[in-house]
Structure 1
Amino acid sequence: MGARQRLRRALALIALFGAAVCGAERAHSATSFIPIPEIITDPNEGNTLGFLGVFLFLDDKDEIRYMLAPDIRYNKTKGVFPSLRLFAYPSPTRRYSIEVGKSTTRDEDYELEFTDRGYWDGRAFVIASFVRERDSTERFFGIGNQTQQDEESNYTETNTIAQVTPGVWLLPRTNLSYRMLIRRTSVQNGQVTSIPSIFKLHRETPGLEPGFYWTHRVALTYDSRDEIDIPSHGALALGYVEAADRQLGSSTSFVSDTPFWEQSQLGGRRTLRGFGAQRFVDFNRSLGSAELRTRVWQHRLFGVKAELEVAPFTEAGQVFRHVLDSPVSDLHFVYGVGFRGVVRPQIVGFVDVGRSSEGTAIFTGINYPF
């Protein structure tokens, strides 16, 4: 879907560490300011330059409670793109974030996120979010695992998404949750003039017309991780049933005509990190990822304890049409190295450099890929 979590670029903490190593360490204070140059290379968006200022508000334990991160970026396609972000961690179990951004062309990004894991003495939780986003640099290569680069098309995707997920812990490591998601999506011509429009190259693809969907998901989750944000050991397994049907409130029911933007996808900053976002699309997917995270540097900077990790990684995956098709018969492989900036107990920023059969891709973001 593009950049559903655009908070990622505000927290490219690797750049923070690179700039800070060359400077003197500041004395402890309740508030710190960190200037960060932004240099972003994205397979879809191209090169982006900008400047980010991060204000850290610390508590008496030198842990981040609030973070204000305004920035301004320039991209040849999107134009000038100013944004403002607020991240809040008022308690160990509660957090929220607000982001607003609008480019001088079409692109825009408005996000609200809220999480509280402290209800019912820690036995219940609520996760909620609202997103309004328009991205004019999206790519689509067609449906299938062997789509070619010369089938690349461009489009603008506009999403309005609201979701809420309440859940309860049935056992110390097992929870049951229900997610209600309301989504309205529309597709228009993109702004990348050097690439054909999706309406010209893939005009028969399902999902080119606007859609309104109300989906419901019930999930059973096993989670033995020691920490949610920065785990050092444990396991996470999820099984769920999800449906979108007219009888459940959706304006459309779909099975065989599932919109392309709702199908399984590979490529981007979370899956097959050597390909651009949504490089491969089909009904099902298989994915295996492994990376070795090693702490190579640790120091106190700007009043907080900062760590740098180096993480070589490898990935393999494919998309396929039918459930009974082989999930490993035609795998795409990726290898690379990641650099992770960590500020405990809740912040991870990354820069990942991946190599695939189609070249090199560089991604920035927040949180571990998995």
Structure 2
Amino acid sequence: MKRLILCISVFLIGFVLFSPVSAQLMDDTDRQGSQHSIFPLVGYTTDYGLFGGGVYQRINYADSRRPFLSNMMVDVTGSTKGKWAARVDYERIEMFSRPIRNRTIVDLELNPIRSYFGIGNNTLYTREDLDDGLYYLNQQHALVTFEARTPLFDITGESALDGALRLKTSYTSATEDGEETRFYTDPPSHFDAGWVNTLGAGLLFDSRENEFAPKSGQRHEIGIDISSSLFGSSYSFYELFADLSYYLSPLENTVLAQRFTARHNIGDTPFWELPALGSSRGLRGFALDRFMGDSSVLYMAELRQWLVSFLDDEIRLGAHLFFDTGRVFSEFDSNELFDEWKRTWGVGGAMTLFSPDLIFRGEVGFSGEDYRIYAGVGYAF
């Protein structure tokens, strides 16, 4: 208990230290022009330890364009456990003067504590083995993603069904970190370093009134991603996915957010591309990537509320409760859909600083095995 209290205290200190160097004040209902923000980051997460870095965001609202004309975010962090990560994320709602929304993401990562617990929904876990590094491996990863989407036809006055096209290219290298590690004693079927280049397509419907902190509406996406030697990939496989989210406000300043996701992989999928559960994006409270399989299902629910605000809503503080449940499927597991679902719950806080479209989030999640502390940018969904 003392250790838990200490970790929560460190997390809260780090959460307060999210502070802006410069920011242009904007009204949430009438945003115009460009906003530049630089935020130094200091915080703590259970999986990566103490971390530091910074976030730069530039949002161009032009003449009150919604949600924006363009949005760029640069995020660079390093942790005391040796993980270094950098991301550049640029999105624009027009391309070639046409309503083709496009997004380009570049991810770079050096991670000596990438988690691997084996394949399946019931792999063994002890906190002592995790602390001794028996579930770790060394991974280097580089990824470039480009996505473009355009409306196929209007459904309501403010929402449409979009067709999406995705291109991804990545290179990943993973090596064992000792002969006693799980990655060495029970390696996955496909783990050799190599390229994964995918071509994907899908459909997306989005009726949320706000993309950063929605109070109402829906966002649904289904699609397929194909990796093939014809694209220069080292592995040939394909993935089907569905991602369905709902938002409603049962009370003033209170939002009930729900999300259901499903993924299914077929072919020679490298382990780092397999569906995994246990992170800040699902089954919060389990160790990172705790469960891995050929398929996964996940349900998440959050009850969010903004509690107080300062400086005419330029600074807002909020809290939320959450519940996650889901499981993975593999050749080692029961294929009964409703068997052996894992469950977690937790509490979190949220904060905006001078921009309603830049939200800092911190959470503590609890599972039957462990607890985890998270900190990051943006809501989980």
With normalisation by structure 2, the TM-score equals 0.74
Residue 221, structure 1, aligned to residue 204, structure 2: yes
Q: Write the letter of the residue equivalent to 2:153.
A: L
Q: Report matched runs for 1:198-237 at 5 Å.
A: 198-202=182-186, 204-237=187-220
Residue 269, structure 1, aligned to residue 280, structure 2: yes
Select which of 351, 363, 375 maps to 1:352. 363
- The equivalent residue for 1:246 is 229
Q: Write the letter of the residue equivalent to 2:195.
A: F
Residues 234-262 of structure 1, C-alpha deviations (whole Å, 9 max, x = no match)? 01111102110112332331444311111
Q: Write the letter of the residue equivalent to 1:217.
A: G
Give the C-alpha shift of residue 100 in structure 1.
4.0
Residues 46-105 of structure 1, C-alpha deviations (whole Å, 9 max, x = no match)? xxxx96653132056597811113357899998997634321112222111223456798
Cα RMSD after superposing both structures: 3.4
Give the C-alpha shift of residue 112 in structure 1.
1.4
Q: Write the distance in 2 (CA, Å) between the matches of 1:95 and 1:361.
A: 31
- The equivalent residue for 2:250 is none
Contact 1:180 1:214 in 2 (8 A): yes
Contact 2:46 2:373 in 1 (8 A): no
Query: Structure 1's 130 and 97: CA in aligned 2 closer, same or farther, altered over 3 A?
Result: same
Greater displacement, 179-188 / 110-119: 110-119
Secondary structure class of the residue paired with 2:280: coil
Query: Structure 1's 232 and 75: CA in aligned 2 closer, same or farther, altered over 3 A?
Result: closer
Gapped regions of structure 1 (runs ≥ 5)? 1-13, 19-36, 40-49
Query: Structure 1's 107 and 215: CA in aligned 2 closer, same or farther, altered over 3 A?
Result: same
Greater displacement, 323-332 / 313-322: 323-332
Give the C-alpha shift of residue 148 in structure 1.
1.1
Contact 1:57 1:66 in 2 (8 A): yes
Query: Structure 1's 353 and 73: CA in aligned 2 closer, same or farther, altered over 3 A?
Result: closer
Q: Write the distance in 2 (CA, Å) between the matches of 1:289 and 1:201.
A: 33
Secondary structure class of the residue paired with 1:57: coil
Q: Write the distance in 2 (CA, Å) between the matches of 1:79 and 1:351.
A: 14
Query: Structure 1's 122 and 102: CA in aligned 2 closer, same or farther, altered over 3 A?
Result: same
Residue 108, structure 1, aligned to residue 84, structure 2: yes
- The equivalent residue for 2:257 is none
- The equivalent residue for 1:339 is 349
- The equivalent residue for 1:124 is 100
Give the total of aligned pairs: 322
Give the C-alpha shift of residue 128 in structure 1.
0.2
Greater displacement, 204-213 / 131-140: 204-213
- The equivalent residue for 2:380 is 369
- The equivalent residue for 1:69 is 39
- The equivalent residue for 2:321 is 312
Q: Write the distance in 1 (CA, Å) between the matches of 2:81 and 2:326.
A: 35
Secondary structure class of the residue paired with 1:54: coil
Higher RCO by CA contacts (8 Å cutoff, separation 6 or greater): 1
Query: Structure 1's 258 and 60: CA in aligned 2 closer, same or farther, altered over 3 A?
Result: closer
- The equivalent residue for 2:53 is 83
Secondary structure class of the residue paired with 2:87: strand
Give the C-alpha shift of residue 232 in structure 1.
0.7
Gapped regions of structure 2 (runs ≥ 5)? 1-8, 62-67, 155-159, 238-265
Contact 2:44 2:374 in 1 (8 A): no
- The equivalent residue for 1:7 is none
Query: Structure 1's 339 and 94: CA in aligned 2 closer, same or farther, altered over 3 A?
Result: same
Residue 140, structure 1, aligned to residue 127, structure 2: no
